[in-house]
C-alpha cells in the first residue's frame, strides 16, 4: 500500500427502522427522491453533503492531493435520489468510485484501492468477541489505523465531533458510549466490516471518521437533515396561519415513513405529535394520534432522544388535559413531582409539572378554589410552594398594574374634564366665528393628526409658529398653551410618566385626543 500523507475516512452505519408505529422496515434512503442538493466542488465536502441532506451512510476515504476543487462551477441537482447524486459525483471525480458496502453502508474511495489487499480497511480480521465498555472497544481499532501524520505519537483519544448533537443535547452520546457495555461477536471479515458492526451496535446512526491519527465518533446530523427537508419548510410556512393544515400533517407522515434512521424517525414523529397536540381546532383524533406517538417513543427508550424522552410525560399530561381527562393528567403530573438534586433535567421537569398541576386545578375548579385546593392538598411540597409563591407574586403584579391603569385613566379623565370646563368658560361670551376658528385650531383634524404623528415620532416640528403665538390674545394663548395639541400631548405624557415612576413599569398608552363641543349660542 502506498504511504499517504493524509487520510480521511467517514463511516456511518444504516439500520433500517420501523414504520409509523416503529414496526416495519423503512425504504433504502439511496432510493428516496429529494428536492435538490448542491455539490460543493470537493469530494469530501460532497460526500458530507449527501450524508447530511439525504441521510445516507457514507464511508469516504480521500487520500491527500485527490478530490480537490474542480474548475467547474457548483453543481445543483434537483429531484434526484442519493444513488443518482453519487453517480453524478463520481462522474466529476473519475478517479473515485462508490459502492454499497458491508453493513448497508456506502463506500466512496479511489477506484484502484477497492480490491487492494494492502488497503488497511481491507485487511482481514479474525472472528472476534468485542466486550467491555464501548469507548474501550472503539479505541481498540486505533491500532489498525496507519500513523502517517505523526508516526512517533500514538493514537491518543476518541473525540466527539461537532456533528454530534440532537437538538442541543450534546452529552447524550458521550455519556452513552462511556457507560455502554458491549458483548458482540463478529465473524471473520475485514476491518471495515468489524468496525461497522461494532459502531452499529453502539448507535443506529453513529458515524466514525478517521482523520490523520485520530478516531472521531460522529452523529449523522439529524438536525441538518430536518432543516433541509420539505417538512421544515412546510412547517414554517404553516405556522403563521395558525390553522388546521392537513397538507402539513401529510408531509409529517411522509417524512416519518422515509426517515433513514430510527432516532430521526422518532424525532419527526414527536414533531408530528406536538403538531397534533397544539392543533386548532382540536379533535379527539389528533389527541389519540399524539398520545400513541408519545407512548411509542417513550417505550423505545432511545438514548439519542434522551432530552425529548424527559419531556414526553409533560406532553402526555397536556394531551389528557386538552381532552378533559383531568384524572389521568393529574395522576401523571403528580408522578413527575419528584425532587432530584443530582439531575437538573429531572428537577426542571418536576417544577414544570407542579406549575401545570396548579394550572389544571385552576382550570377545573376556578382560580380561587383551585388555588385553595392546591394549598391544602400539596401543603409542605416545596415544588408546589414555589409555584404558589410565583402565582401570588404574579397576581400581585397584575393587581398593581390594574390599579396603575385605573389611576392613569382617572387622571387623564380629570385632565379632559379640565379641558371641557376651561373651554366653556373661555368661549361662553366669545363671538361665534372666533369660537369656531379657535376650535378648529385646537381640536380640528389637523390638530388631531399632529398629536398622533408626534406621538409616533413622525413629527418634530411644533404645532404653531412664533408668529402665530404672538398674534393671539393673552387669555386665548394661555388656553392653547395648556389645552391645545401641544399642551394636550405634553400633559398626558407627564401623567403617564408619573405612573411609570410610581409603579416602575413601562406604559404603552396611546394619547387621547379630546374635542370639546362648540357651545350653542
pLDDT digits (tens, 9 = 90+) for 188-222: 998 888 887 887 777 655 556 665 445 666 554 44
Q: Binning pLDDT at 50, 70 and 90, where does residue 11 land? A: very low
What was the pLDDT predicted at 207?
A: 57
Of the two residues 216 and 488, the one the predictor is more confident about is 488
- pLDDT per position as a tens digit, 464-474: 998 989 889 99
Beta strands in 174-250 (DSSP E): 181-186, 189-190, 206-211, 214-219
What was the pLDDT predicted at 156?
A: 37
The residues facing 217 across adjacent strands are 160, 208
Beta strands in 301-417 (DSSP E): none
Q: Binning pLDDT at 50, 70 and 90, where does residue 13 land? A: very low
SS3 452: helix
- pLDDT above 70: residue 162: no
Average pLDDT over residues 24-40: 70
Q: Binning pLDDT at 50, 70 and 90, where does residue 506 land? A: low
Q: What percent of the chain has pLDDT over 90?
A: 26
Average pLDDT over residues 76-83: 86
Burial 264-292 (b: 16+ CB within 10 A, else e): bbbbbbbbbbbbbbebeebeeebbebbbe
Point out the least confidently predicted range of 60-64, 139-143, 221-225, 504-508. 221-225
- pLDDT above 50: residue 165: no
- Nine-digit cell at 307? 432530552
Cα distances (angstroms) measured from residue 446 to each of 190, 413, 433, 450, 456:
87, 23, 19, 6, 16
Return phi, psi of residue 311, to 5°: -90, -15
What was the pLDDT predicted at 391?
A: 94
What was the pLDDT predicted at 439?
A: 92
Of the two residues 88 and 73, the one the predictor is more confident about is 88
- The angle, 0 to 180 degrees and rounded to 10, between the axes of the packed helices 344-365 and 367-377 is 130
Q: Considering only CA atoms, which of 39, 99, 87, 43 is closest in space to residue 68?
A: 43
- pLDDT per position as a tens digit, 304-333: 677 778 889 999 999 999 999 999 999 999
- pLDDT above 70: residue 277: yes
Average pLDDT, the chain: 76
* pTM (two decimals): 0.54
Point out the least confidently predicted range of 72-76, 164-168, 491-495. 164-168
Count of residues making up the chain: 521
What was the pLDDT predicted at 164?
A: 31
- pLDDT above 70: residue 453: yes
Burial 98-131 (b: 16+ CB within 10 A, else e): beebebbbbbbbbeebeeeeebbbbeebeebebe
- pLDDT above 90: residue 372: yes
Average pLDDT over residues 491-516: 73
Of the two residues 371 and 517, the one the predictor is more confident about is 371
What was the pLDDT predicted at 138?
A: 77
CB count in 10 Å sphere of residue 349: 19
The answer to whether the beta carbons of residues 42 and 50 sit under 8 Å apart is no
Point out the least confidently predicted range of 144-153, 251-260, 287-296. 144-153
What was the pLDDT predicted at 496?
A: 81
Q: Binning pLDDT at 50, 70 and 90, where does residue 405 land? A: confident
- Look at the block and give the residue holding cell 385646537: 442
Q: Considering only CA atoms, which of 54, 49, 47 is closest in space to residue 31?
A: 54
- pLDDT above 50: residue 26: yes
Return phi, psi of residue 147, to 5°: -95, 85
What was the pLDDT predicted at 114?
A: 84
Point out the least confidently predicted range of 95-99, 193-197, 235-239, 293-297. 235-239
Amino acid at each position: 500500500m502506498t504511504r499517504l500523507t493524509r487520510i480521511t475516512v467517514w463511516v456511518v452505519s444504516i439500520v433500517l427502522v420501523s414504520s409509523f408505529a416503529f414496526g416495519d422496515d423503512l425504504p433504502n434512503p439511496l432510493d428516496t427522491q429529494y428536492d435538490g442538493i448542491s455539490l460543493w466542488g470537493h469530494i469530501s465536502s460532497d460526500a458530507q453533503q449527501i450524508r447530511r441532506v439525504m441521510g445516507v451512510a457514507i464511508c469516504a476515504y480521500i487520500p491527500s492531493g485527490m478530490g480537490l476543487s474542480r474548475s467547474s462551477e457548483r453543481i445543483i441537482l434537483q429531484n434526484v435520489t442519493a444513488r443518482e447524486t453519487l453517480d453524478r459525483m463520481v462522474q466529476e471525480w473519475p478517479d473515485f468510485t462508490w459502492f454499497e458496502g458491508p453493513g448497508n453502508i456506502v463506500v466512496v474511495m479511489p477506484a484502484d484501492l477497492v480490491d487492494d489487499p494492502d488497503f488497511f480497511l481491507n485487511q482481514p480480521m479474525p472472528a472476534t468477541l468485542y466486550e467491555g465498555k464501548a469507548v474501550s472497544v472503539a479505541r481498540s481499532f486505533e491500532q489498525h489505523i496507519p500513523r502517517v501524520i505523526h508516526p512517533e505519537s500514538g493514537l491518543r483519544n476518541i473525540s466527539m465531533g461537532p456533528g454530534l448533537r440532537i437538538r442541543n443535547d450534546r452529552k447524550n452520546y458521550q455519556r452513552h458510549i462511556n457507560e455502554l457495555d458491549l458483548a458482540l461477536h463478529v465473524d471473520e471479515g475485514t476491518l471495515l466490516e468489524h468496525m461497522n458492526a461494532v459502531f452499529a451496535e453502539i448507535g443506529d446512526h453513529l458515524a466514525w471518521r478517521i482523520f490523520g491519527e485520530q478516531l472521531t465518533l460522529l452523529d449523522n446530523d439529524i438536525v441538518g437533515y430536518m432543516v433541509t427537508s420539505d417538512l421544515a419548510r412546510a412547517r414554517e410556512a404553516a405556522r403563521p396561519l395558525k390553522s388546521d393544515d392537513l397538507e402539513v400533517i401529510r408531509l409529517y407522515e411522509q417524512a416519518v415513513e422515509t426517515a433513514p434512521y430510527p432516532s430521526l424517525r422518532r424525532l419527526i414523529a414527536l414533531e408530528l405529535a406536538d403538531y397534533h397536540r397544539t392543533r386548532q381546532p382540536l379533535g379527539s383524533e389528533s389527541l389519540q394520534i399524539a398520545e400513541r406517538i408519545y407512548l411509542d417513543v417513550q417505550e423505545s427508550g432511545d438514548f439519542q432522544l434522551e432530552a425529548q424522552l424527559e419531556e414526553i410525560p409533560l406532553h402526555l399530561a397536556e394531551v389528557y388535559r386538552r381532552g378533559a381527562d383531568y384524572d389521568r393528567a393529574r395522576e401523571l403530573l403528580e408522578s413527575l413531582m419528584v425532587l432530584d438534586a443530582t439531575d437538573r433535567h429531572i428537577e426542571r421537569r418536576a417544577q414544570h409539572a407542579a406549575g401545570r398541576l396548579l394550572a389544571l386545578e385552576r382550570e377545573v375548579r376556578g382560580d380561587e378554589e383551585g388555588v385553595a385546593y392546591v394549598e391544602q392538598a400539596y401543603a409542605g411540597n416545596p415544588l408546589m410552594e414555589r409555584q404558589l409563591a410565583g402565582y401570588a407574586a404574579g397576581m400581585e403584579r397584575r393587581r398593581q398594574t390594574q390599579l396603575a391603569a385605573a389611576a392613569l385613566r382617572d387622571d387623564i379623565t380629570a385632565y379632559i374634564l379640565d379641558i371641557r370646563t376651561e373651554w366653556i368658560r373661555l368661549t361662553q361670551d366669545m363671538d361665534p366665528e372666533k369660537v369656531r376658528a379657535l376650535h378648529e385650531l385646537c381640536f380640528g383634524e389637523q390638530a388631531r393628526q399632529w398629536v398622533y404623528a408626534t406621538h409616533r415620532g413622525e413629527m418634530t416640528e411644533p404645532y404653531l409658529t412664533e408668529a402665530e403665538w404672538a398674534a393671539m390674545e393673552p387669555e386665548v394663548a394661555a388656553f392653547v398653551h395648556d389645552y391645545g395639541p401641544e399642551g394636550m400631548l405634553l400633559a398626558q405624557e407627564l401623567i403617564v410618566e408619573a405612573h411609570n415612576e410610581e409603579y416602575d413599569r413601562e406604559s404603552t398608552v396611546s394619547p387621547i385626543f379630546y374635542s370639546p363641543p362648540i357651545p350653542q349660542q
